[in-house]
């Protein structure tokens, strides 16, 4: 869907003010936040080698759905921090 401002509004100072308000700063995907938390816990040794990382349990502890957990674990596995088991 494409939306356009009415022609009468495009020549006012309101447009410039609105443009400044549309900037999003500090945005980060939830999966990236989960990834950072888990990676930090691994590096600090809070999560010990051999610890089972269960998506459902982590999701419950973090208060998020399983999808960002799954995405974070895949990224950690690709970097060699965790090993995916079937």
Q: Is 63 within a domain?
A: yes
CB 46 within 8 A of CB 52: no
Task: Kindly give the confidence (pLDDT) of every residue in the chain, 86 residues in length, as a single tens digit, with 9 standing for 90 and above.
Answer: 556 555 554 455 555 554 556 665 677 889 999 999 999 999 999 999 999 999 999 999 999 999 999 999 999 999 999 998 87
Determine, yes or no, domain membership for 86: yes
Domain with 86 in it: what CATH number? 1.10.10.10
- Which of the 8 DSSP states describes residue 1? -
3-state secondary structure 2-32: CCCCCHHHCCCHHHHHHHHHCCCCCCCCHHH
* Residue numbers of the domain that contains 39: 28-86
Q: Report the domain count for the chain.
A: 1
Contact 62, 55 (CB under 8 A): no
Q: Flag whether 77 is in a domain.
A: yes
- Virtual CA dihedral for 81, 84, 85, 86, nearest 10 degrees? 170
Q: Within a domain: residue 82?
A: yes
């Amino acid at each position: 869907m494409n939306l356009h401002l009415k022609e009468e509004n495009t020549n006012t100072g309101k447009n410039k003010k609105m443009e400044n308000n549309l900037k999003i700063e500090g945005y980060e995907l939830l999966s990236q936040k989960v990834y950072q938390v888990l990676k930090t816990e691994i590096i600090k040794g809070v999560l010990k080698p051999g610890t089972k990382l269960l998506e459902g349990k982590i999701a419950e502890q973090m208060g998020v759905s399983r999808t960002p957990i799954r995405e974070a674990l895949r990224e950690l596995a690709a970097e060699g921090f965790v090993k995916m088991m079937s």
